[in-house]
Structure 1
Amino acid sequence: MIRRPSFFASTDSILSHSFSFFTFTTNSPSSSSSSSLITLPDSHSKPISSPFYNLLPPTQNPNNIVNLVYSTLKNKSSNLYHDNDINSLILHMGPLQISRVLLRCQSDYSSALTFFNWVKNDLGITPTVQNYCITVHILACSRMFSDAMKLLCDLIKLVEFDGVYQSLVLCTEDCNWNPVIFDMLIKAYVKVGMVDKGFRAFRKNIEACFIPSVTACNCLLNGLSKFSYIGRCWEVYEEMGNLGIRRNAYTFNILTHVLCKDGDTNKVNGFLDKMEEEGFEPDLVTYNTLINSYCRKGRLDDAFYLHKIMYIRGVMPNMVTYTTLINGLCKEGKIKQAHQLFHQMVHRGIDPDIVSYNTLICGYCREGKAQTSRSLLHDMLGNGICPDDITCRLMVEGYAKDGKLVSALNLVVELQRFGIKIPEDVYDYLIVSLCKDGRPFAARSLLLRISEIGHMPKMSTYYELFESLCKFNNVEEALILKSEMLNKNMKLNLTGYRSIISSLCRVNKAQEAEDLLQEMVSSGILPDLEISRAIVNGYCKEKNIDKAVSLLKFFAKVFKVHDTESYNAVVKVSCEIGNVAELMELQDKLLKVGYVPNSLTCKYVIRGLQKAMELDDEISGHNMLEV
């Protein structure tokens, strides 16, 4: 028997209860396209009771708004908005009037819901907690549980727990109601992901002597388990026993999962004994849960022991059982046994599905046996099972790990021929893999091919291909790709500019590299030491000392980049030319912008001076011979 809590209020107190949870606004209906917002009186406003209103016709009397709306609803009017009598009095439609109309509609849930939606959606009024709760009670009492659950979920997202619970209880004094609504509250909180509040509702129901059903308890247990509230799961389980709520197989299966999730599989046997004491035999779900837990922990002996026990107890393993065991064997590297179990499953009349095939394919790919995986793929197709995204990804990655990228590309072509859609990330993976394997032209060819079928790779894939082309000095192709990227609103970053500038300098195109430097700076990207070094060394390689010196000074003055390595490269080339006067002048110029000679600089200068002296001696000897 359900005992009423002491905090129930009288009918009058409910209707005059504070409606201060929301601010109310409404759009005034009119034929005009624009509508003005009208602020409705709050819950503390007294009912309109001016004696002069009683002199007005009933359709113009604000005190008659409840009767007018109810009468229209009773006549099954489909659109309250088009009732002129009601429209003229909408200004007086406050929270109290809304509750009174709803209470008048208790015997007709359809009218109550129509009116509630009209207020909320057409008038633009935000209903109060009490308006919601009255409507929910009416729907639940009429066994319209789906509609009631929807409104309840909307309400609990808007209002704090205490406000919802108290209002649901208060409204029972004036409404026809069904105790199931308090079970539904627990389920609603779990459904919207507020599992902690679902647990509070469970506790609150017990305090108010609303004993939860086993269905509500199971729903709460399932939610608590998903959010890893392990301790609270056992609290609910114990409370169910204290309250005399008969636990069912679903309860025990959830708690078996909780034990496995908590990592305490050693307690499972004791729990199964408890389950059997209460008259419940472990079912297929129980065994599958335990087998999965044992496989994840690498306890394959225990998993296969349970597999045997299932047959002894007359519980036939299903696809999930076999796939779980196959996956456990594959993870342990026992691929041969896994394939044997796969065949055993087929011989026992269980047709493999995409998951079981993918599990075995994954095992072979992990062992570097992509060719065997391909045989399984053909077996799948022969059995009418279409490979999914996971199958394609596993196969391509398996070939790539074996260093057989050509086979991976051929596989993609073969799958396309069978009409199988290739996941877009597989194309990206192949392009990146080809780049890392030093095949940028093959990657570029694949990019062009997939672009023709409308696939646009990720930005990171474009960057990977661009840098790979630069790395192998394919500067012309890299510059073409750069233009394509620009057309797709992909701008080069610092890494990209560094790659192309370095590549251009390596192929003696320092001037083009300098042009890109200017483009980079104008786009707001500042050069770093590597870019400075690449361009200066590029000009040194071309024996263009003046340009190299000019850039050294430019980087030092504008970007505060002083690269001793570049400085020494300029000194080295100058020394090789052997013009001592120019060398000394160069030293002075670079000293002024912050370049300080080191031991390597001195070594180059000494060699330069030595070379200049040798050159002077050769000239002097030649002159003496002529004399």
Structure 2
Amino acid sequence: MIRRRGATRPEIVDALVSSYHRFDSNPSVFDLLIRTYVQARKLREAAEAFRVLKDKGVFVSVNGCNSLLAGLVRIDWVDLAWEIYQEIVEMGIELNVYTLNIIVNALCKDRKFQQVDILLLEMETREIFPDKVTYNTQIDARCRAGELKEALELLNSMGEKGLKPDVVTYNALLNGFCKNGKYERAKELLNEMVGSDLVPNTPTFNIMLSGFCRNGDIKEATRIYNEILRRGFVPDMVSFSSMIGLFTKKGDMSRALMYFREMKSVGLIPDSVLYTMLIGGFCRIGSIADALKMREEMVDQGCMPDVVTYNTILNGLCKERQLADAEALFEEMSQRGVPPDFCTFTTLINGYCKYGCVEKALKLFDKMLHRNLKPDIVTYNTLIDGTCREGDIEKANELWDDMHSRGIFPNHITYTILIDNHCEKGEVAEAYKFWDEMVDRDILPNVVTYNSIIKGYCRSGDASKAEKFLEKMRKDKITPDRISYNTLIHGFMKEEKMQEAFALLSEMEKQGVLPDVLSYNLLMSGLCEEGKMQEAEWVFKRMLGKGTQPDRYTYTTLINGHVAAVSETLDKRTSCAYSWLWQFAYYIIRKYKSLMDSVPPDRSEYTKWFCFHRQALQLIEAIRVHRVEAKFFKKENYQDT
């Protein structure tokens, strides 16, 4: 009758009550009715039948009530479970510890911990006392809520009540402490657990392993993995997934593949999540070919790529500027019946905008809207940034209006994009309009926004105002970063204000912001342009003294500076030019060799270093034109090198 369509709960209850009174049936038939509804996952009908029975004066036993309560809590109908529980109490049905544990679980799901405490006191008056399950439920819930202190208090309370914590208790605590980054305390709890003669199981070690892997701690993760093997446990899918995930995030694909092969050797079959993890690892290090090979293996093993897999490869292709391949993969998704999602469109739109294909990004955006996929602020920020870079302010304004019409409001990134667009052109007054609107909306500018304004002043030829704005930045409790200082140094150098630029270099160090190679290059470039090679050499020596390594631009700047300075005092400068040139040559050879010692460079890398060689040869030729004579210095010698 329960499964028959058309039979109402009152009809079924009436039939059972009638036969019960007529034939003196066993009252457990009403328990069976409730249990049957619960097992059939008809919880609403079960609750209705319970209430119809109550109205007819027929009370279900505590076991039937517990079955109903447990079913409701299982599907998260906590409010209805609480209502039914209160009705059970009003009916005077004798409760037991199972009832207590079900309701404690229900309240813990909603994190109503104060009500749990009230319930426990109320149950004690009925001489129903919490057991190990009650405490484990509370400890697990407190840990999930991040209330670790309260969880430990409950652990201590167990001992006071004469209850001994078990593996489930400690696993809940370990999970809580690991997820909250308290790894040292988690290790102490594991030792405490072992000291209590409790034997950790595979889930125990997996909790620790997952925690260390999330934290990127290779040493501790490896130690825990080896401990699993030492104790004779067989690592499961969780163990291998944790280790593979750790090494894919670190970009160490050789070790990730080692665990992958080991996993297959123990008979575990990789799923789409694991394959996608490995594909993502290869994409992260720019090895798209290996990522595609892994996808082929995935398909060969009967594991079809899902939208997450495709999105992972798309992201990798876009990062490597392989937009044509990304487009082909996007088309393949449709052919294979994998509908692109929000992430698919956003990833490809970002790739197009990043590399100047804004028109394609906008067409894709239209497709996204036609598929009823709602763009978010990230999508709009990407498109607005792309159109601003292209100089299409009209389209950027259209996107701004469209964004507002959809109830999506700009955030600090949106405003920073627009502010930076105006500052790039030195339009500080226009930039300030967005700054003021941003502040009026209680959106606080960050260091990037401040840096844009500094750049704007410098681009407009007013580095002094930029320096004043840097002071305002500090007053607003925004700490200037390296970009802030480098932008301002560049501004002063353009205005030939060397003293102010050098003062900023000292200020950087004083404020604990270490100058980088760009900081020094900016100063050397300005000095070389003015022919102040002695000062440029002093900056170079200071850079080396601070442990900052020079780059290609450093050497070419100094070489060009010395060559330019060769005039009336050519003979005096010749040895310096040789010195910088051969240091530069050594730098090229050293860099080139380091590339060859690692993964063979692709065509773009070879091209890059070939251009460096060619630049050096051109400089040599420039010095030869000036008739610089030296026994050791010949174009042919350099070519041989």
Normalized against structure 1, the TM-score is what?
0.51
Using the alignment, how far apart are the partners of 2:306 and 2:11 within structure 1? 58
Aligned to 2:43: 153
Confirm or deny: 8 A CA contact 2:37 2:45 kept in the other structure.
no
1:193 deviates by 2.8
Within-5 A mapping of 1:465-614: 465=348, 529-530=394-395
Query: Identical aligned pairs, as a percentage?
Result: 21
SS in structure 2 opposite 1:105?
Answer: helix
Query: Amino acid of the residue matched to residue 140 of structure 1?
Result: F
Confirm or deny: 8 A CA contact 2:307 2:341 kept in the other structure.
no
Q: Does 1:194 align with 2:77?
A: yes
Q: Give 5+ residue unaligned stretches, structure 1.
A: 1-72, 82-92, 113-135, 507-526, 534-627
SS in structure 2 opposite 1:106?
Answer: helix
Aligned to 1:358: 241
Confirm or deny: 8 A CA contact 1:139 1:145 kept in the other structure.
no
Within-5 A mapping of 1:20-99: none
C-alpha change, 1:151 and 1:456, in structure 2 (3 Å) is closer
Aligned to 2:260: 377
Using the alignment, how far apart are the partners of 2:5 and 2:289 within structure 1? 70
1:298 to 171, 175, 181: 181
Q: Deviations over 1:156-194 (max 9, x none)?
A: 7779xxxx75x543422xx48535444445335434533
C-alpha change, 1:107 and 1:385, in structure 2 (3 Å) is farther
Aligned to 2:117: 234
Q: Does 1:317 align with 2:190?
A: no
Using the alignment, how far apart are the partners of 2:310 and 2:5 within structure 1? 57
1:103 to 13, 17, 22: 17
Confirm or deny: 8 A CA contact 1:329 1:338 kept in the other structure.
yes
1:408 deviates by 2.1
Q: Give 5+ residue unaligned stretches, structure 2.
A: 399-641
Aligned to 1:562: none
Q: Does 1:402 align with 2:285?
A: yes
Query: Amino acid of the residue matched to residue 20 of structure 2?
Result: Q
1:392 deviates by 2.2
1:138 deviates by 6.7
Using the alignment, how far apart are the partners of 2:166 and 2:247 within structure 1? 32
Confirm or deny: 8 A CA contact 2:311 2:344 kept in the other structure.
yes
C-alpha change, 1:268 and 1:489, in structure 2 (3 Å) is closer
Confirm or deny: 8 A CA contact 1:184 1:216 kept in the other structure.
no
Query: Amino acid of the residue matched to residue 292 of structure 2?
Result: L
Aligned to 1:30: none
Q: Deviations over 1:436-481 (max 9, x none)?
A: 4321122234345555655454476468658867987899x979x9
Query: Amino acid of the residue matched to residue 243 of structure 1?
Result: R
Using the alignment, how far apart are the partners of 1:236 and 1:282 within structure 2? 22
Confirm or deny: 8 A CA contact 1:416 1:422 kept in the other structure.
yes
Using the alignment, how far apart are the partners of 1:456 and 1:367 within structure 2? 31
Q: Does 1:340 align with 2:223?
A: yes
Aligned to 2:447: none
Aligned to 1:69: none
C-alpha change, 1:277 and 1:421, in structure 2 (3 Å) is same
Confirm or deny: 8 A CA contact 1:139 1:148 kept in the other structure.
no
1:295 deviates by 1.3
2:56 to 165, 171, 196: 171
1:419 deviates by 3.9
1:238 deviates by 2.3
Query: Amino acid of the residue matched to residue 154 of structure 1?
Result: R
Using the alignment, how far apart are the partners of 2:350 and 2:152 within structure 1? 58
Aligned to 1:213: 96
C-alpha change, 1:440 and 1:311, in structure 2 (3 Å) is same
Using the alignment, how far apart are the partners of 1:387 and 1:80 within structure 2? 44
Using the alignment, how far apart are the partners of 2:336 and 2:14 within structure 1? 63
C-alpha change, 1:424 and 1:267, in structure 2 (3 Å) is closer
C-alpha change, 1:185 and 1:148, in structure 2 (3 Å) is closer
Confirm or deny: 8 A CA contact 2:318 2:351 kept in the other structure.
yes
Normalized against structure 2, the TM-score is what?
0.50
Aligned to 2:304: 421
Confirm or deny: 8 A CA contact 2:97 2:129 kept in the other structure.
yes
C-alpha change, 1:204 and 1:363, in structure 2 (3 Å) is same
2:155 to 272, 280, 284: 272
Confirm or deny: 8 A CA contact 1:140 1:148 kept in the other structure.
no
C-alpha change, 1:94 and 1:264, in structure 2 (3 Å) is closer
Using the alignment, how far apart are the partners of 1:380 and 1:206 within structure 2? 53
1:139 deviates by 3.3
1:325 deviates by 0.7
**Aligned pairs, how many?**
393
1:285 deviates by 0.4
Give the structure with the larger helix fraction: 2
1:239 deviates by 2.2
Using the alignment, how far apart are the partners of 1:467 and 1:230 within structure 2? 45
2:191 to 296, 308, 312: 308
C-alpha change, 1:284 and 1:104, in structure 2 (3 Å) is same
Q: Which deviates more, 144-153 or 414-423?
A: 144-153
C-alpha change, 1:410 and 1:290, in structure 2 (3 Å) is same
C-alpha change, 1:224 and 1:409, in structure 2 (3 Å) is same
Query: Amino acid of the residue matched to residue 290 of structure 2?
Result: S
Using the alignment, how far apart are the partners of 2:182 and 2:397 within structure 1? 59
SS in structure 2 opposite 1:314?
Answer: coil
C-alpha change, 1:403 and 1:80, in structure 2 (3 Å) is closer
Query: Amino acid of the residue matched to residue 385 of structure 1?
Result: L
1:322 deviates by 0.5
Using the alignment, how far apart are the partners of 2:321 and 2:179 within structure 1? 38
Using the alignment, how far apart are the partners of 1:383 and 1:195 within structure 2? 42
C-alpha change, 1:137 and 1:440, in structure 2 (3 Å) is farther
Confirm or deny: 8 A CA contact 2:178 2:211 kept in the other structure.
yes
Q: Does 1:439 align with 2:322?
A: yes
C-alpha change, 1:459 and 1:144, in structure 2 (3 Å) is closer
Using the alignment, how far apart are the partners of 2:39 and 2:360 within structure 1? 59
Using the alignment, how far apart are the partners of 1:185 and 1:153 within structure 2? 7
Confirm or deny: 8 A CA contact 2:306 2:338 kept in the other structure.
no
1:326 to 195, 209, 213: 209
1:359 deviates by 1.2
Q: Deviations over 1:264-305 (max 9, x none)?
A: 433444433432343321111001011111212222222122
Aligned to 2:30: 140
Confirm or deny: 8 A CA contact 1:141 1:178 kept in the other structure.
yes
Aligned to 2:443: none
SS in structure 1 opposite 2:20?
Answer: coil
Query: Amino acid of the residue matched to residue 292 of structure 1?
Result: N
1:338 deviates by 0.6
C-alpha change, 1:450 and 1:142, in structure 2 (3 Å) is closer
Using the alignment, how far apart are the partners of 1:369 and 1:153 within structure 2? 50
Using the alignment, how far apart are the partners of 2:371 and 2:290 within structure 1? 34
Using the alignment, how far apart are the partners of 1:242 and 1:489 within structure 2? 60
C-alpha change, 1:99 and 1:462, in structure 2 (3 Å) is closer
